[in-house]
Amino acid sequence: MEEKVRVRFAPSPTGPLHIGGVRTALFNYVYALQHKGKFVLRFEDTDKDRSEAVFEESIRQGLKWMGIKWDEEHYQSKRAEIYQNYLTKLKAQDLTYEQDGGIYFKTPVENKKIVVKDLIRGQVEFESKDFDDMVLFKKDGTPTFHFANVVDDIDMGITHVIRGEDHLSNTPKHILLYEALGAPVPQFAHIPLILNPDKTKMSKRTGETNFEQYIKAGYLPEAMINFLAQLGWSPPDTQDFFTFDELVKMFTLSRVQKAGAVFDIKLLNHINHQYLMELPFKEYVKIAEPYLDTKADKKLVGFALKLVQDRARFLSEIPELTHYFFAEPDYDAKLLVFKKSSPEQTTKGLEVALEVLEGLDDKAWDIGSLQQILDHTLDASALNPGDLFWPIRVALSGEEGSPSPTELLEALGKAESIKRIKTAIKKLNV
């Protein structure tokens, strides 16, 4: 008979949700789904001074955003009685003693080999003589992490402990506790740490660890899942993009990397960029619009969003990519002149453009007609494409990189386009 899988994510709410925590939660959740088990969320809030409700909320919100759903929610601060009960079992065996108001666990006097069977690392051996007696209860009466963590994992029937590698060295101590309490030892899987570019552990102090900032920056959950899943794990084939369901099907702890993984924001950006481009326009608008703080009319906003959908890597990049749609751009006159063109040629190009555009009826102001009329103008003149198209684009956007001139013309409309082209001509001839 196979035991029903129960895993947990046990963050301490002493700070906003950590990016590494999200990955740990993801691996646990995926494992639970794969084995039709349960995923438990347990707040390890035994540090009264540092735990805060806002951080609990940050953790809940972040998990929800990722699409991670938990079957149970627990708080260690509400389980004092349970810890006392388990302590009684230890006391009855004379395995504890009091000192300085704290309660300690007696590490076995005789040295003993402790084997951690890790699903990722294999068997890791320790010796009990290397461990000091550990504190079970602090003098303020609350249990320590080690004790509360083990008691809860026993009490909640946790079968698989999937957590960060930083806990590997704590595991033998935990095993001692499981044994003393006569409880079965769960399966362990220690996943590699997420590292800074300099390979040090990514911590609150050293990196961009606050998960809220990624949500705010406008990354998509799908992209984040893809990215985090491949930070320390790799699919059995060379598939780079996969859905959550596919991840659940493919995931195995045996394919989890042993070495730490550097957090590479460029890769995240790339993955997000791909997802953003493939998003149906309507869905994209829905999530992108809030990032645009403008009172401009809907049509223009629609144009702006459409024209940068394949350019934005994450949503919060959109305002800077679209500023010229909503306000006249400021730029250096030199930018109007294409590589091998000259100010004279450029002026000529803009003037010709101005003339034909002014002659185009407002009703015919669409990208098809615009392209046609400009192509025709180019053919009929002695100008190079760079004398005509480039300066129009710059006149309208003020940028080195932007959508095409005709797209911009159509989006901005006749009046605004003409105005900006006139400004450009003036700039050139100051």
- Chain positions 110 to 129 lying near RNA, rule: CB under 7 A, are 121-122, 124-127
Q: What residue type is assigned to position 406 of the chain? A: T
Strands (DSSP E) contained in 177-324 are 187-191, 194-195, 261-262
Q: Which two tokens stand for residue 390?
A: 């480039």
Binding mask 312-351 for RNA (x = CB under 7 A): ----------------------------------------
To the nearest whole angstrom, how small is the minimum distance from the Cβ of residue 4 to RNA? Answer: 25
Nearer to RNA, 65 or 75 (CB): 75
Are the C-beta atoms of 147 and 79 separated by less than 8 Å?
A: no
For residue 280, the minimal CB distance to RNA (Å) is 16
Q: Phi/psi at 14 (nearest 5 deg)?
A: -105, 10
- Stretch 282-311: interaction string toward RNA, x if CB under 7 A: ----------------------------xx
Which one of residues 16, 37, 62, 232 is an interface residue with RNA (CB under 7 A)?
Answer: 232
Return phi, psi of residue 371, to 5°: -65, -45
Residue of the chain from 28, 322, 347, 402 that contacts RNA (CB under 7 A): 402
* Among 108, 151, 115, 110, CA closest to 133: 108
Q: Give the pair of three-digit tokens for residue 96.
A: 């504890």
The mark string for 240-279 relative to RNA (x by CB under 7 A, - otherwise) is x--------------x-xxxxxx-x-xx-xx--xx--x--
Residues between 369 and 398 with contacts to RNA, criterion CB under 7 A: 371, 385-386, 389-390, 393
Q: What's the gap between Cα 369 and its chain centre?
A: 43
Within residues 43-82, the interface with RNA by CB under 7 A covers 44, 46-47, 50
Number of chain positions touching RNA (CB under 7 A):
80
Minimal distance, residue 1 CB to RNA, in Å: 27
What's the chain's length in residues? 430
Count of other CB atoms within 10 angstroms of residue 124: 16
Task: With H, G, I as helix, E, B as strand and everything else as coil, classify residue 291.
Answer: helix
Torsion of CA 256, 260, 265, 268, to 10 degrees: 0
If one asks whether residue 207 binds RNA (CB under 7 A), the answer comes out as no
| Cβ 144 vs Cβ 137: under 8 Å | yes
The residues in 122-161 that bind RNA, with binding defined as CB under 7 A, are: 122, 124-127, 130, 132, 135, 138-140, 142, 144-146, 149
